[in-house]
Amino acid sequence: MVTRTVVFVEDARGQAVDQILYCESKELSVADVGMPYGLREVLEKHDAGEIEIVLFVVDLALPGFHAEKFFDVGSVDDKSGFDAGWIVLEKILRPEDQQCRYGNIPAVILTHLELTSKAKARLNAMNERNQALGRPLVRYLQKWGTSSFLPTWAKEFEAIIDELIARLDNSHG
């Protein structure tokens, strides 16, 4: 059986350690890719049938993540890295191309960044396109809170994973 894999596109693993551990506790393999070559390698394994990517979890702020060096994403004007997650989503995982190889794999934005009105418009446009093409919508969770209680966004993430596993089990079982 091919390993079900959740891909975290996150440059600071410590920012997602609880979510990674939750995925692993649910018997999902985790590929933690902080650089574009790591993303390219995991996508190649998926394409070769070595793993089954079942979810992408993407941070928006990825300083130093220069996708244009490893992927054909065209000209990129993102010296700060704060658009790198959007570039991964819009150019690699959810491009306008109807034949996108990864378009049917669910994706979640998990970031500390609050969406600006421009970012909300980007996400809405992407999801309108996803809906028109019959693809899963990209969900957005903003990480916040430092209390000792499990924050709402973390509960929502766990619910996404639980729903994903139930759907996968029903479609494969």
Residues 28-49: tens digit of each pLDDT: 999 999 887 889 999 999 999 9
pTM: 0.89
CA atoms within 13 Å, Cβ hemisphere of 99: 0
Instruction: Please measure the distance between the N-terminal and C-terminal CA atoms of the chain and give it in whole angstroms.
Output: 13
How much is the average pLDDT of 163-171? 91
For residues 107 and 94, the answer to whether their CB atoms sit within 8 Å is yes
CA atoms within 13 Å, Cβ hemisphere of 153: 18
